[in-house]
């Protein structure tokens, strides 16, 4: 038995009780097809399994933007019940979304959001929806939102541009074009590749724009509006059994002011992660963090004054261009886990 689980079972019950356990799980898809890049594709048959699981669990499928803004403000005016809530999103406006996902979602009368790169649509790229198809989605109540002009790597600012000019060029220009072509669209951004920096946040706040990454975890009241999490649900993440756990997950409450900058320089790899824990119905002794490709890592929770502080760090440098730390702990609610994910980008 895992040593941390043993400590959880033996530790005195010292649940941190306070914050609402309301959570929004957001699923992220790209291609819904049988023939596409494996890492970003889910087959139509598997996609139907996901939709059936949502139905079988009795979840409430909600509009992404209104539900996000409600939960961040502590309201629930756009939801119908106290059921766990899920929102469905797609990146890149692939034609397979229109062909294979849209009919199933329309049949169920479920809302969803498509994040669009404008240049591929304007160029008529193969495998991308046309403006006519996108307009049909809008007329049917689907929300279209911002995924930049070119699917640029936003942390890499071209020489000769300021950050503000770069975001104006990639994000503001997309918002203007979407509104001009489609009318009302979502005031939301899905970061290309899920990557961002803390320096981008003031620009996004100025435009009141919600921004979503690709780090896993649900959204809760204390989530950062410009670092919102989504669960990738394609490729290796399409497994239905693990999806059930994710759909029922809760947001581990960590004050948004404690958001760490995702950028990690070589001298700071592996990155250190330290945050104060806010109150909720879990035993802090049971928290376990995991690092990409390294599995469970040493996780310390110390009681300091009236609160608890979580500290963790991977034992060795992380490889690749990006990674994350995922921290989870059992809730007192049967079958539900609290979850927090910190994304990293290695330069």
State the CATH number of the domain containing residue 205.
3.20.20.370
Same domain, 137 and 179: yes
Q: Is residue 93, in this structure, part of any structural domain at all?
A: yes
Same domain, 97 and 206: yes
- If pLDDT is split at 50, 70 and 90, which confidence band does 79 have? low
Q: Is residue 235, in this structure, part of any structural domain at all?
A: yes
| Distance from C-alpha of 26 to C-alpha of 30, rounded to nearest angstrom | 13
Same domain, 38 and 91: yes
Q: Is 40 helix (H, G, I), strand (E, B) or coil?
A: helix
Same domain, 8 and 126: no
Q: Is residue 155, in this structure, part of any structural domain at all?
A: yes
Q: Is residue 199, in this structure, part of any structural domain at all?
A: yes
Same domain, 340 and 278: yes
Q: Is residue 133, in this structure, part of any structural domain at all?
A: yes
Same domain, 78 and 167: yes
Mean pLDDT calculated for residue range 57-62: 97
pLDDT tens per residue across span 299-323: 999 999 989 999 999 999 999 999 9
Contact predicate 210/189, CB 8 Å: yes
Q: What is the CATH number of the domain that holds 320?
A: 2.60.40
| Distance from C-alpha of 180 to C-alpha of 118, rounded to nearest angstrom | 12
pLDDT tens per residue across span 180-213: 999 999 999 999 999 999 999 999 999 999 999 9
Q: Is residue 253, in this structure, part of any structural domain at all?
A: no
Q: Is residue 10, in this structure, part of any structural domain at all?
A: yes
Same domain, 60 and 207: yes
pLDDT tens per residue across span 249-303: 999 999 999 999 999 999 999 999 999 999 889 999 999 999 999 999 999 999 9
Same domain, 184 and 273: no
Of 228, 248, 268, the position where a domain reaches its end is 248
- If pLDDT is split at 50, 70 and 90, which confidence band does 80 have? low
Q: What is the 3-state secondary structure (H, E, C) of 61-84?
A: ECCHHHHHHHHHHCCCCCCCCCCC
Same domain, 120 and 161: yes
Same domain, 109 and 12: no
Domains of the chain: total: 2
- If pLDDT is split at 50, 70 and 90, which confidence band does 82 have? confident
Of 248, 274, 295, the position where a domain reaches its end is 248
DSSP state of 100: I
**Residues of the chain by 3-state class (helix, strand, coil), percent to 5:** 35, 25, 40
Q: What is the mean pLDDT of the chain?
A: 92
Is it the case that residue 6 has pLDDT exceeding 90? no
Please give the residue range of the domain that contains residue 290.
3-16+258-346
Mean pLDDT calculated for residue range 102-121: 98
Same domain, 244 and 272: no
Q: Is residue 72, in this structure, part of any structural domain at all?
A: yes
The structure tokens 């087959």 sit at 43
Contact predicate 323/293, CB 8 Å: yes
Of 191, 218, 248, the position where a domain reaches its end is 248
Which pLDDT value is given to residue 4?
44
pLDDT tens per residue across span 18-48: 445 689 999 999 999 998 888 999 999 999 9
CA-closest candidate to residue 198, choices 187, 211, 185, 208? 211
Query: What are the start-end ranges of the H helices in 229-268?
Result: 240-247
Is it the case that residue 150 has pLDDT exceeding 60? yes
Same domain, 117 and 138: yes
């Amino acid at each position: 038995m895992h040593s941390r689980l043993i400590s959880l079972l033996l530790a005195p019950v010292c649940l941190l009780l306070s914050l609402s356990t309301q959570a929004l799980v957001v699923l992220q898809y790209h291609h819904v097809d049988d023939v596409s890049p494996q890492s970003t594709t889910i087959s139509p048959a598997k996609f139907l399994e996901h939709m059936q699981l949502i139905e079988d669990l009795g979840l409430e499928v909600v509009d992404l933007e209104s539900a996000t803004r409600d939960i961040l403000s502590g309201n629930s005016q756009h939801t119908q019940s106290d059921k766990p809530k899920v929102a469905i999103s797609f990146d890149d406006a692939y034609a397979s979304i229109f062909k294979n996902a849209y009919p199933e979602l329309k049949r169920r009368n479920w809302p969803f959001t498509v994040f669009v790169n404008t240049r591929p649509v304007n160029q008529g790229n193969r495998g991308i929806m046309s403006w006519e198809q996108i307009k049909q989605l809008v007329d049917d109540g689907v929300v279209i939102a911002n995924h930049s002009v070119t699917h640029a790597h936003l942390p890499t600012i071209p020489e000769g541009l300021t950050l503000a000019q770069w975001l104006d060029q990639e994000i503001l220009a997309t918002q203007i074009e979407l509104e001009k072509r489609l009318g009302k669209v979502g005031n939301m951004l899905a970061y290309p590749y899920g990557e961002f920096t803390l320096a981008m946040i003031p620009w996004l706040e100025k435009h009141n724009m919600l921004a979503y990454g690709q780090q896993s975890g649900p959204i809760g009241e204390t989530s950062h509006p410009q670092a919102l999490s989504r669960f990738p649900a394609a490729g290796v993440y399409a497994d239905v059994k693990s999806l059930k756990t994710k759909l029922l997950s809760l947001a581990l409450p960590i004050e948004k002011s404690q958001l760490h900058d995702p950028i990690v320089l070589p001298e700071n790899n592996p990155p250190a992660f330290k945050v104060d824990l806010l109150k909720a119905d879990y035993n802090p002794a049971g928290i376990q963090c995991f690092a990409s490709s390294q599995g469970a890592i040493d996780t310390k929770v110390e009681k300091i004054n009236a609160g608890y502080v979580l500290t963790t760090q991977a034992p060795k440098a992380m490889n690749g261009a990006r990674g994350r730390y995922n921290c989870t702990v059992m809730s007192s609610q049967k079958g539900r886990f609290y979850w927090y994910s910190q994304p990293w980008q290695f330069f």
